Structure 1
Amino acid sequence: MMDLSVLLVLLCCDLTSSRPSLPLTPPPTPPLTPPLTPSCTRVEGFCSDLGLHSVPQDLPRGIHTLDLSRNQLQNLTREPIAFYTGLRHLNLHGNRIHFIQPGLFAGMTQLKMLDLSRNQLNAFAAHRTQIGPLGAVESLDLSGNGLFTGMMEYFLNDSQLLVNLSLSGNSITKISGDAFRGSLSLRSINLHNNVIMEIEDGAFDLLDHLSDLDLSKNSINCITDFNLYNLRNLNLSQNSLEMFLSAPSDELYQLVSLDLSQNKLPLLPLIPRKNKLEYLDLSYNQIQGVNVTGSYSGQIFFLCTCLYQPPSLTKHHNCFHHLKYLDLSFNNFQSLPESLFHTMLSLEVLNVSNNCLTSFSLTRDLLPKVRILNLGENSLQTFQITQTSLPSLEELYLNGNGLTTLGFQTLKSLRLLHLQQNEINICSQKTLEDSKFCVSFESVPSLEYLDLSENKLWRIPSGAFRNTPLTHLDLSQNPGLDLHQDSFSGLENSLERLFFKENNMSAINSDLSSLRNLKYVDLSTNQLTALPAWNRASSIESLNLQNNNLVTLDYGTVAALESSLKTLYVGSNPLSCCSNLPFLNLLKMSNVVVPDIEAVTCVFLEDAEPVNIEKVTEEMCKDLENGSVNVIVVVVVALVLIIALVLLVKCCRSRKRKRSRTYRA
Structure 2
Amino acid sequence: MAVLRPLFLLTVSCCLAASARPPRHLPPCTVVQMDVFCSNLSLRSVPTNLPHAVHMLDLSRNQVQNLSQETLAYHTGFHHLKLHSNKIHFIQPGLFKDMPDLKVLDLSRNHLNVFALSKINIGPLTAVHSLDLSNNGLYTGMSDYFLSDCPVLENLSLNSNSITKISQNTFSGSLSLTKISLHNNVILEIEDRAFDLLNHLTELDLSKNSISCITDFNLYNLTVLNLSQNSLELFQSSGSTSCYKLQSLDLSENKMSHFPLLPVDNKLQYLDISRNRLQSINVTGKPEKRALFRYLRHLDMSYNQLRSLPESFFYCMLSLEVLNVSNNCLGSFSVTNQNLLQTVKIVDLSFNSLQSLTFKENTLPLLEELFLQGNDLTTLHHQVFQRLPSIRHLQLQQNYLEICSSDQIQQDPADQDQQDPADCVSFTSVPNLQFLNLSKNNLRTLPANTFTNTPLKVLDLSLNPGLDMDQQSLSGLEHSLVHLLLRENNISSLNTDLSSLTSLRHIDLSTNQLTTLPVWNRESSIESLNLQNNNLVTLESSTVLVLERSLKTLYMGSNPLSCCSNLDFLHMVQHSAVVVPDIETVTCVHDEYSEPVNIEKVTQEMCHQAGIQNYIVAVILMALLLMVVLALLVKCCHARKHKHNRSFSA
TM-score between the two structures when normalised by the length of structure 1: 0.89
Q: 2:44 aligns with which of 50, 53, 57?
A: 53
Task: Determine if contact 1:171/1:195 at 8 Å carries over to the other structure.
Answer: yes
Distance 1:561 1:472, change over 3 A: same
Map 1:24-173 → 2, pairs under 5 A? 43-81=34-72, 83-173=74-164
Q: 1:213 aligns with which of 201, 204, 213?
A: 204
Please tell me the residue identity of whatever aligns with 1:105.
F
CA deviation after TM superposition for structure 1 residue 408, in Å: 2.2
CA deviation after TM superposition for structure 1 residue 126, in Å: 1.4
Task: Determine if contact 1:82/1:104 at 8 Å carries over to the other structure.
Answer: no
In the alignment, structure 1 residue 455 sits paired with structure 2 residue 441:
yes
Who is 1:514 aligned against? 500
Please tell me the residue identity of whatever aligns with 1:217.
K
Who is 1:364 aligned against? 337
In the alignment, structure 1 residue 382 sits paired with structure 2 residue 364:
no
Percent of counterpart pairs with the same letter? 59
CA deviation after TM superposition for structure 1 residue 203, in Å: 1.1
Q: 2:262 aligns with which of 271, 274, 277?
A: 271
Who is 1:524 aligned against? 510
C-alpha separation in 2, matches of 1:356 and 1:49: 52
Please tell me the residue identity of whatever aligns with 1:431.
Q
Q: 1:555 aligns with which of 541, 549, 556?
A: 541
Report SS of the residue matched to 1:196.
coil
Please tell me the residue identity of whatever aligns with 2:513.
Q
C-alpha separation in 1, matches of 2:568 and 2:407: 45
Who is 2:484 aligned against? 498
Report SS of the residue matched to 2:156.
strand
Report SS of the residue matched to 1:540.
coil
C-alpha separation in 2, matches of 1:168 and 1:567: 47
Task: Determine if contact 1:9/1:56 at 8 Å carries over to the other structure.
Answer: no
CA deviation after TM superposition for structure 1 residue 658, in Å: 10
Please tell me the residue identity of whatever aligns with 1:104.
L
C-alpha separation in 2, matches of 1:199 and 1:254: 21
Who is 1:233 aligned against? 224
In the alignment, structure 1 residue 184 sits paired with structure 2 residue 158:
no
Who is 1:281 aligned against? 272
CA deviation after TM superposition for structure 1 residue 58, in Å: 1.7
C-alpha separation in 2, matches of 1:410 and 1:635: 75
In the alignment, structure 1 residue 247 sits paired with structure 2 residue 263:
no
Q: 1:195 aligns with which of 178, 186, 203?
A: 186
C-alpha separation in 1, matches of 2:536 and 2:404: 33
In the alignment, structure 1 residue 431 sits paired with structure 2 residue 408:
yes
Report SS of the residue matched to 2:568.
helix
Q: Which blocks of at least 5 consecutive residues in structure 2 are unaligned?
A: 1-15, 411-419
C-alpha separation in 2, matches of 1:209 and 1:660: 137
CA deviation after TM superposition for structure 1 residue 104, in Å: 1.1
CA deviation after TM superposition for structure 1 residue 653, in Å: 8.5
Task: Determine if contact 1:61/1:83 at 8 Å carries over to the other structure.
Answer: no
Distance 1:657 1:174, change over 3 A: farther
Report SS of the residue matched to 1:409.
helix
Q: 2:302 aligns with which of 329, 348, 357?
A: 329
More displaced 10-residue stretch of structure 1: 97-106 or 651-660: 651-660
Task: Determine if contact 2:175/2:199 at 8 Å carries over to the other structure.
Answer: yes
Task: Determine if contact 1:82/1:107 at 8 Å carries over to the other structure.
Answer: no
CA deviation after TM superposition for structure 1 residue 536, in Å: 2.7
Q: 1:470 aligns with which of 446, 450, 456?
A: 456
CA deviation after TM superposition for structure 1 residue 595, in Å: 1.1
CA deviation after TM superposition for structure 1 residue 590, in Å: 2.2
CA deviation after TM superposition for structure 1 residue 596, in Å: 1.0
Report SS of the residue matched to 2:299.
strand
Distance 1:320 1:102, change over 3 A: same
More displaced 10-residue stretch of structure 1: 66-75 or 81-90: 81-90
CA deviation after TM superposition for structure 1 residue 125, in Å: 1.0
Report SS of the residue matched to 1:614.
helix
Who is 1:23 aligned against? none
Report SS of the residue matched to 1:598.
helix
CA deviation after TM superposition for structure 1 residue 164, in Å: 0.8
Which whole-Å deviations, capped at 9, do the CAs of 1:162-193 have from their partners, x for residues lacking one?
A: 11111111111111111001111111111111
Report SS of the residue matched to 2:207.
coil
Distance 1:120 1:326, change over 3 A: same
CA deviation after TM superposition for structure 1 residue 440, in Å: 0.6
Report SS of the residue matched to 1:513.
coil
Q: 2:596 aligns with which of 604, 610, 625?
A: 610
Report SS of the residue matched to 1:78.
coil
Q: CA RMSD in A?
A: 2.5
Who is 2:328 aligned against? 355
Who is 2:286 aligned against? 308
Report SS of the residue matched to 1:79.
coil
In the alignment, structure 1 residue 403 sits paired with structure 2 residue 381:
no
Report SS of the residue matched to 2:620.
helix
CA deviation after TM superposition for structure 1 residue 573, in Å: 1.0
Q: 2:617 aligns with which of 601, 614, 631?
A: 631
Who is 2:27 aligned against? 11
C-alpha separation in 2, matches of 1:129 and 1:546: 70
Distance 1:97 1:7, change over 3 A: farther
Task: Determine if contact 1:374/1:397 at 8 Å carries over to the other structure.
Answer: yes
Which whole-Å deviations, capped at 9, do the CAs of 1:183-225 have from their partners, x for residues lacking one?
A: 1111111111111111111111111111111111111111111
Q: 1:340 aligns with which of 313, 319, 333?
A: 313
Please tell me the residue identity of whatever aligns with 2:326.
S
More displaced 10-residue stretch of structure 1: 400-409 or 355-364: 400-409
Q: 1:576 aligns with which of 562, 571, 574?
A: 562
Task: Determine if contact 1:498/1:521 at 8 Å carries over to the other structure.
Answer: yes
Who is 2:573 aligned against? 587
Who is 2:399 aligned against? 422
Who is 2:8 aligned against? none
Which whole-Å deviations, capped at 9, do the CAs of 1:85-125 have from their partners, x for residues lacking one?
A: 11111111111111111111111111111111111111111
Which whole-Å deviations, capped at 9, do the CAs of 1:55-84 have from their partners, x for residues lacking one?
A: 222211201111111111111111141622
Please tell me the residue identity of whatever aligns with 2:173.
G
In the alignment, structure 1 residue 224 sits paired with structure 2 residue 215:
yes
TM-score between the two structures when normalised by the length of structure 2: 0.91
CA deviation after TM superposition for structure 1 residue 610, in Å: 1.0
Please tell me the residue identity of whatever aligns with 2:363.
S
Task: Determine if contact 2:48/2:73 at 8 Å carries over to the other structure.
Answer: no
Distance 1:620 1:99, change over 3 A: same
CA deviation after TM superposition for structure 1 residue 633, in Å: 2.0
Task: Determine if contact 1:571/1:597 at 8 Å carries over to the other structure.
Answer: yes
Distance 1:82 1:12, change over 3 A: closer
More displaced 10-residue stretch of structure 1: 531-540 or 209-218: 531-540
Q: Point out the structure with max Rg over C-alpha.
A: 2
Distance 1:251 1:487, change over 3 A: same
C-alpha separation in 1, matches of 2:250 and 2:235: 11
CA deviation after TM superposition for structure 1 residue 603, in Å: 1.5
More displaced 10-residue stretch of structure 1: 634-643 or 493-502: 634-643
More displaced 10-residue stretch of structure 1: 623-632 or 599-608: 599-608
Q: How many residues align?
A: 618
Please tell me the residue identity of whatever aligns with 1:76.
L
C-alpha separation in 2, matches of 1:98 and 1:138: 23
Please tell me the residue identity of whatever aligns with 2:556.
V
C-alpha separation in 1, matches of 2:496 and 2:385: 27
CA deviation after TM superposition for structure 1 residue 135, in Å: 0.9
Which whole-Å deviations, capped at 9, do the CAs of 1:628-652 have from their partners, x for residues lacking one?
A: 2122223333344455556667788
C-alpha separation in 2, matches of 1:474 and 1:606: 42
Q: Which blocks of at least 5 consecutive residues in structure 1 are unaligned?
A: 18-42, 294-306
